[in-house]
Each structure stands twice: as structure tokens, then as C-alpha cells.
Amino acid sequence: MLGLVLAWWATRGRAASATHATELAVEPSQAEAASRAPAAPSQVVVSDARLAQVLAQYRHDAVYPPGSRPLDEGARYKLKWNAAIVSDLPFARGLSYHFAADRHHVTFGEPIISWIEVWQTGNEARRVPLFVRSAWVMTTSGAAQGRSVSLRYHDDGLDGDAVAGDLRYSNRLVPSEHDELRASRQVQLYADVEAAGMARPMIRDFTYAARPVLEVVHVSDELAAGSLRVTVDCEVFEPGLYTFEANLVSADDSLPIGYVDQSLPLAAGRQKVALVFFGRVLHDVGASGPYLVRDLRGFERFLDGSQANLWWAYAPTHRTRAYDVNDFSAAEWDAPEKQDKIRRLEAARSAGR
Amino acid sequence: MRRTPVIVLALLVSLALAGEARAGNSVLHFQGRGWGSWNGEIVTQSAAWTSRTYNFSGNSRLDSADTNVVVRGAIASNCSGANNCIIVCYSAGCSRVLKAIDDLRASGNTLPGLFWIEAAGSVAGGTKLAEVATSGFTGFLAKLFGQQEAIDFDITPGAARGTWGYTQDAVPPDAMYHVAGNQDICKGFLFFKICGNQFIDAGIGDGLVGIDSASGAAAAGRYYDGCAVAKYPGRIWEPSTPCGGEARDHFGLVGRTIALLAPQINGVANDKMRVWGERLNYPDCDDAAGKCDNPASNPALDFSREPNGTLVAKDVSSATSTTTGSTAGATCAGKCGKYSGAACWCDASCATRGDCCADYTQVKCNVVNQ
């Protein structure tokens, strides 16, 4: 149905209707907005230098589609998609600390292990004893904000603490085991820590899935129109808008190749979702298969902000068939939206000359 | 919790159709933390482009109606259908823009009219200032800028690159051009001063945001060259700006970015060369001695105003917790959602637990915690 509606929309002329309701939610401030009457798009004037640059950049970047692109240097953070972003921060004169964790997104049923350590600045191995006066899961959005689950940090080598007595104090939390975390909210771990006669508040951001939303049953792959199509057979537990992401690397995991990032509405029940690694991405890297599809994950997206996004992940790595790199198309991405964008930019450039 | 596919479908269709408003070319401005409106620095005398600014609270959480209705609606309306747009975002406004674009694209709106984004001092990569706190348990960000705001929860490096990390690749194949500042912001606190860059710890900073965030760098860290750093997909260093950043602080970066934009759309900039930091001969506050929680020298410390008190944008102080008084001890000033550090709490559950600090409502934690 959605496809039909969008297809209908796409066939409509570009002439604008002045009555769309979305504009009602947007109120330009009177002093500055609409200081000039809107011009027709054909009269767009932008400096030629900037437009030439934007157009060249667009042509360069639109060799690949928006949802399937190379795992180049700027995209390799996706290979560590679930690493906690940890800041080393000043604790007191001559002391530093961090509040780290083994992951950022905690899917349903998973634990998160977090730890606190304070060390002599400049030598992270020289940790100092500390005392966690109190620690909590703090809910920071929605109803019932504030302290929700009390936490204990310990250095006894048990229950998530790797080494007893190493002055790294740990906690293992399974959010799905706590009634206080049944609703999907934004959260932080919060600790009040004392060391060397000083106290500091510390925070660790994370997300949790309050309920399971999607489970991957099977992954398969095939060549399709010069691209690598990976089909994700999954059980969807609730209808919604879902985002899927995955990385493609060489069979020995040493060569990053590409990523996919696709969203689509899904009904509840068994579904097959096609993730397309665009052929040109594989072609440009130049390595033949088999490949590994790893880091398959995603989330149910709540556009209205009524709930925090609910993440899911599929831990296994999928090994594809042994494709020859020449099986993949060298053709650039092409789509009506790309041609439309280029037309607009070229028209603006013409108008400015 | 279960919703029908029809509701989801209706929402997606409304987002996809949202570009049908009218034909026009617009420069959209989205403000950041501390402002309820744009600050007046826009491109003027551009015959073909209409500057549009929006009244929304830069203080509100990222996943709020301010982002999900106002910002997203403005982009959907002005950057698709027959409309073309250039987006100028500032500070946390860039976080909102990335989220809005990611949501729109996930909903099927390809934004064909989006020409490019100009990002001034983007905090979409987070700032350590939002994570580190004084010995009195007040966030340094809140203390330095006079107010604790709800958006502060979303601009720690962990939240920005983790919770909101999925929005970082929203831009391609379009481009976001980044402009960063390299001037610190310092403010006086009774015989001492607090400066932002030492806590931002990113190599170069503008007093609130490090160049790791402001350049669109794909990893947090210390950088001294915004041109060369590996950036998130679709992020580009503005070619006409020095690799070491502009000689502006966070406040002045808007005007400079507008000045860079003006010739690109054949307009005139009204860069007001604003500066929010002050030159002070005081020593840095000694946090171990509790001096960083002292009262501010200027009790009107407010980022929506010039240092002399002149209002530059609609202020959001009615929904923030003021930190210009002493923030030491059993006060909730600047500690909303947290522990006070002194035997009472400032989170939303303190009322039911019976352990709120006495000034919980007076310092507006009941508002900030919503």
C-alpha cells in the first residue's frame, strides 16, 4: 500500500500546492522570515564556484546509493558500532578517570558490564582505590524519570568484574530483568565516586531494549542485478518502521568493503528483508569473495519520540558464496532522485551565469 | 505499546508528502543550545533565497517535538517537492538536523531539494564539557554557560556518537560543510575563571565544542587540522575556512559562517563579529578547592545575550536551571536529574523518595527534568 501511495506521489507534477499542513507546525519568526518573496526554482542563484563544488561533490558521492556505501576511513566507526564512547576526564589534581562499558546498545536479554577506574594522570596502570558511594540507572526521558535501578560496583573478580583487586570496579546489569526498565526510555548509568578524598559524579550513556522487537532466523545471499543481495529472514514481533544495518568485509575480516543502512516499515510476523550491497562498492574494492556479512543489527524507530528506539542485533557472522569480483557491476548508482538532484543543481548553475 | 501498521503508514506517507507546500528557495536556520530563536545573523539581499528561521527551544531534548515536528517539518516542507533549500545549523541544532534528515530518509523522503548543509560549531559529535562536573557536582557546561539545559543529556560524546550515532551517516550523497572555531570562552567566577577548552580537551575548541565534533570527525579525539581528519560520511570541511578553525568562539561562529555563506548565494552577510568569552586576568578556578562552584561575576550570564546583557535570541531560561549563584553543597542548581553531592537529590524521583534538595523547584528542576 505504501508503495502505491508513493508511486502515486512520484507521478504527480512538481507544481506545489499551498495547503499542506506540515507548514502549520513551522513558524518562521516574523522579523526575519520571508524577508523576500520565494523565487521560482528556475531562478535559483548560487555562486558558480559553490555550485560547481556541490555538483562535483554530489556526482562523486552519488556513485553509490545513500543506503549502501564503502566502508572507507570515515565510515569505519561502523565496524565498532557498539563500542562505548569513553572519555578520559579529570578527577582531581593529578588524577583521571573514566566510566567505561563493554557496549553502548544493550539488546533484549543482554547484560551490560560497566566499570569505573581512577588513575594517576599519565599512567593508566597506576590506579587508585575508590569507593562508589551510590550508583543508579537514571531514566532521563519520558515518565518516571530519575533513579530507577540501584547498582553495586565491586572489585572482587565476580559477576562481571574481571580481576579481583585490580582497582577496576565493575557492575553487571541485565536491563530486561528489571521491572523499572519495562518502558523504553533514555537512560544513563550514574555513579557518585569518592577517591583520594574527592568525590565526583560520573555518567555512562547507554541504550536498552525494553522488549524484543525482531529476531533474525536465517541469512542468505545471492547475486542480483550486479549487486550482492543479502536476504534476512526474520521474525518481527511488533509492526513498525525498522532500520537495518550491516557491514561487509573480506573473508579473513581484514579488508572493510561496504555497509548497508536501509529502513522500511514491517508488519508483525515472518518477514524477508533484502539488504543490497551495491555492486560498485564491491567492484571498487576489487576483492573477490567469499565475504563476511557482520554486525547485522538495527532498531525499531519511533518517529514521534514516544519511546526510545529499540535495538536488536544478530551476533553470528554470515559467510557468503565465493563470488568473483567481476560478477559485480561497475555501474554508478542511478535513480530518479539522483537525476532530479543533478537537474536542480545544474539549473541553479545555469541561472547564476 | 502495539500500534497498527496503518498508523505507521500514515506517518510515513505524511512525511513523504511533506514537501508539497510551495515552490521556493529557502535558507533554513536551526539554532542550538541556549537559544529559542535564531540570533539575527542571516544572509540579506539575496534575491533568490528566502531566509527562514524558526522558534523552537534549543534547550529541549533531542528526541522532542522541537526536533521531530518543527525541524523535521521545516526540512520536509522546504527541501522536497518543488522546493530547494540550504540548511544552516548551529551547535546542537546540527544534532537536530541530522536526526531529522535520518528520520525523513528512513521514511522515504529523499530530500531532492536539499542543496547542502552549512554546520557552524556542530556539537553532533558531543563535547566533554557536557560530561565532566565540578567537585560540587555541577556540569562544567552548565556552570560556564550559566544554565543547565535538557539538551545537555544528548551532547555528551557517549550520547552523541552512541545513542545518536545512527544519525551520523544521514547526509550522503548530499554534503554537510563544517565550520569550527578556535577561540576559547572564559568567564569569571569571583576572583577565578572557568574556560571551556581545557575540559573539551579536543586539541582545538571554540569554548563549547571541540574540533573533533565541529569538523564532523568520525572519532572523538584531539585534532589540530579539521581538513585532514577522517570524517563521518558526507561531511566536508568548508573549503574557504582555515584548517585550524576560524578565530571565533562558539558565539561568534554563527556570524562567520553566515559570512562564508553570503557570497555563495549572492547575498550580503550581517556578521556581527560577536564574542561571548571575556579576557580575564584571573587564575583558573581550583576545582579541588571547590572554587569552580563559586558564583559568577556576572549574574546575568546567559548565552542568549551578549556579555553586556543585550538579547540576541529568544531566551530559554524559563526552562533551564540557572548556575550563576553558588552551586556548591545541597543545591539543585545545575544538577537537575542528578545527585547534588550533598545528601539530597535533584532527579524527578526525589519527590516520591522524599530526598529532594530544598530548592528543587526554585531552581526549576521540575521543568528541566521533563
Residue A259: give its domain's CATH number: 2.60.40.10
Mapped onto helix, strand or coil, the DSSP state of residue A259 is strand
Task: Specify the pairing of strand B268-269 against strand B43-44.
Answer: antiparallel
Range of the domain at A291: 214-327
Would you call A186 and B163 a contact, using CB atoms and an 8 Å cutoff?
yes
Interface of A with B in 225-244 (CB under 8 A): 238-241, 243
Kindly report the nearest CA distance between residue A283 and chain B, in angstroms: 19
Residue pair B240/B227 in contact by the 8 Å Cβ criterion: no
Positions of chain B with pLDDT under 70? 1-23
Determine, yes or no, domain membership for A352: no
Nearest to B131 among A26, A54, A203 (CB): A203
A315-334 tens-digit pLDDT: 999 999 999 999 999 999 99
Angle between helix B5-16 and helix A2-10 axes, rounded to 10 deg: 10
Nearest to A147 among B108, B163, B349 (CB): B349
Size of interface A-B (CB pairs under 8 A): 331
B124-164 tens-digit pLDDT: 999 999 999 999 999 999 999 999 999 999 999 999 999 99
Would you call B106 and A243 a contact, using CB atoms and an 8 Å cutoff?
yes
* φ/ψ bin of B137: left (φ > 0), alpha (ψ from -120 to 50), beta (otherwise): left
Distance CA B158, CA A112 (A): 15
Chain A positions in Cβ-Cβ contact with residue B266 (cut-off 8 Å): 45-47, 352
**A227 and A120 in a common domain:** no
CA distance from start to end of chain B: 21
The model's confidence at residue A30, banded by pLDDT at 50, 70 and 90, is very low
Residue where the block lists cell 569480483: A325
Would you call B68 and A22 a contact, using CB atoms and an 8 Å cutoff?
no
A38 contact B CB<8A: yes
Closest residue on chain A to B176 (Cα): A54
Would you call A6 and B65 a contact, using CB atoms and an 8 Å cutoff?
no
Determine, yes or no, domain membership for A155: yes
Report pLDDT for B191. Answer: 86
Q: Residue A121 sits in a domain of what CATH number?
A: 2.60.40
Would you call A85 and B220 a contact, using CB atoms and an 8 Å cutoff?
yes
For residue B240, count CB atoms less than 10 angstroms from its CB and return exposed for 0-12, middle for 13-18, buried for 19 or more: middle
Closest residue on chain A to B2 (Cα): A238
Determine, yes or no, domain membership for A181: yes
Would you call B84 and A348 a contact, using CB atoms and an 8 Å cutoff?
yes
Give the closest residue to B282 by CA, choosing from B194, B207, B192, B186: B192
**A103 and A40 in a common domain:** no
Determine, yes or no, domain membership for A67: no
Which of B138, B257, B265 is the best substitution to test chain A (most A C-beta atoms within 10 A)?
Answer: B265
Last residue of a domain, one of A189, A208, A227: A208
Domain count, chain A: 3
Chain-centre distance of CA A83, in angstroms? Answer: 12
**A54 and A139 in a common domain:** no
**A322 and A249 in a common domain:** yes
Would you call A205 and B162 a contact, using CB atoms and an 8 Å cutoff?
yes
Mapped onto helix, strand or coil, the DSSP state of residue B272 is coil
Report residue B250: phi and psi, to 5°: -60, -35
Residue pair B214/B207 in contact by the 8 Å Cβ criterion: no
Report pLDDT for A45. Answer: 65
**A222 and A178 in a common domain:** no
For residue B347, count CB atoms less than 10 angstroms from its CB and return exposed for 0-12, middle for 13-18, buried for 19 or more: buried
Chain A positions in Cβ-Cβ contact with residue B369 (cut-off 8 Å): 145-146
**A183 and A118 in a common domain:** yes
**A119 and A100 in a common domain:** yes
Instruction: Please report which helix (H) or strand (E) contains residue B25, including its range.
Output: strand B25-30
Report pLDDT for B370. Answer: 78
Give the closest residue to A241 by CA, choosing from A314, A305, A302: A302
Closest residue on chain B to A88 (Cα): B128
**A309 and A221 in a common domain:** yes
The alpha-carbon radius of gyration of chain B (Å, integer) is: 20
Answer with the residue of higher pLDDT: B73 or A22: B73
State the alpha helices, DSSP H only, in chain B: 5-16, 65, 72-78, 92-106, 140-145, 157-158, 197-200, 211-214, 253-261, 350-353, 365-368
Determine, yes or no, domain membership for A25: yes
Last residue of a domain, one of A154, A181, A208: A208
Determine, yes or no, domain membership for A343: no
**A101 and A36 in a common domain:** no
**A142 and A123 in a common domain:** yes
Report pLDDT for A143. Answer: 83
B350 contact A CB<8A: yes
Would you say residue A61 has pLDDT above 70? yes
Closest residue on chain A to B113 (Cα): A341
Would you say residue A15 has pLDDT above 80? no
The complex's ipTM works out to 0.93
Angle at A303 between CA A298 and CA A304, to 5 degrees: 140
Would you call A6 and B350 a contact, using CB atoms and an 8 Å cutoff?
no
- The mean-pLDDT minimum among A129-133, A272-276, A348-352, B84-88 falls in A348-352
Determine, yes or no, domain membership for A169: yes
Interface of A with B in 8-37 (CB under 8 A): 9, 14-18, 20, 22-23, 25-29, 31-37
Facing residues of A138 across strands?
A147, A188
Chain A positions in Cβ-Cβ contact with residue B132 (cut-off 8 Å): 87, 89-90
Report pLDDT for A48. Answer: 83
Exposure of B63 in the CB half-sphere (CA atoms within 13 A): 24
For B86, B115, B144, B267, B269, the CA distances from B43, given in Å and listed in that order, are 12, 16, 30, 6, 5
* Whole-structure pTM value: 0.92
Mapped onto helix, strand or coil, the DSSP state of residue A49 is helix
**A285 and A189 in a common domain:** no
Cell numbers for B70: 518543527
Determine, yes or no, domain membership for A227: yes
Last residue of a domain, one of A173, A208, A243: A208
Chain A positions in Cβ-Cβ contact with residue B96 (cut-off 8 Å): none
B356 contact A CB<8A: no
**A139 and A198 in a common domain:** yes
A4 contact B CB<8A: no
For residue A229, count CB atoms less than 10 angstroms from its CB and return exposed for 0-12, middle for 13-18, buried for 19 or more: middle
Percent of chain A whose predicted confidence (pLDDT) is above 90: 83
Chain B positions in Cβ-Cβ contact with residue A23 (cut-off 8 Å): 21, 73, 77
